[in-house]
Amino acid sequence: MGEIGDNYPDGTIYSCSFTGQFCTPEQIDEYRYVTKLEFLEIEGTPGNEYYEDNMRYVYSEPYGFEDADEFFIYLPGCPLNDVSEGFLFWAFFHTQMQETLPLEYYGLYNVGGEAGFVGVADVITLAVKYHNILLAQVSVCCDN
pLDDT string in tens for the chain (144-residue length):
678 888 899 999 999 999 999 999 999 999 999 999 999 999 999 999 999 999 999 999 999 999 999 999 999 999 999 999 889 888 776 556 678 888 788 999 999 999 999 887 765 565 666 556 666 666 555 555
Residue 119: domain span: 12-143
| Per-residue confidence (pLDDT) for residue 103, from 0 to 100 | 79
How far is 10 from 2, CA to CA, in rounded Å? Answer: 9
Q: Using CA of residue 5, residue 8, residue 12, residue 15, what is the dihedral sign? A: negative
Number of domains in the chain: 1
Question: Does residue 3 lie in a domain region?
Answer: no
User: Residue 12 belongs to what H/E stretch?
Assistant: strand 12-15
Question: Does residue 6 lie in a domain region?
Answer: no
Question: Does residue 1 lie in a domain region?
Answer: no
Question: Does residue 130 lie in a domain region?
Answer: yes
Residue 84: name the closest of 118, 114, 60 by CA.
114
| Per-residue confidence (pLDDT) for residue 101, from 0 to 100 | 86
**pTM exceeds 0.75, yes or no:** no
How buried is residue 98: exposed, middle or buried, by Cβ count under 10 Å (0-12/13-18/19+)? exposed
Question: Does residue 115 lie in a domain region?
Answer: yes
Question: Does residue 2 lie in a domain region?
Answer: no
Question: Does residue 17 lie in a domain region?
Answer: yes
Question: Does residue 7 lie in a domain region?
Answer: no
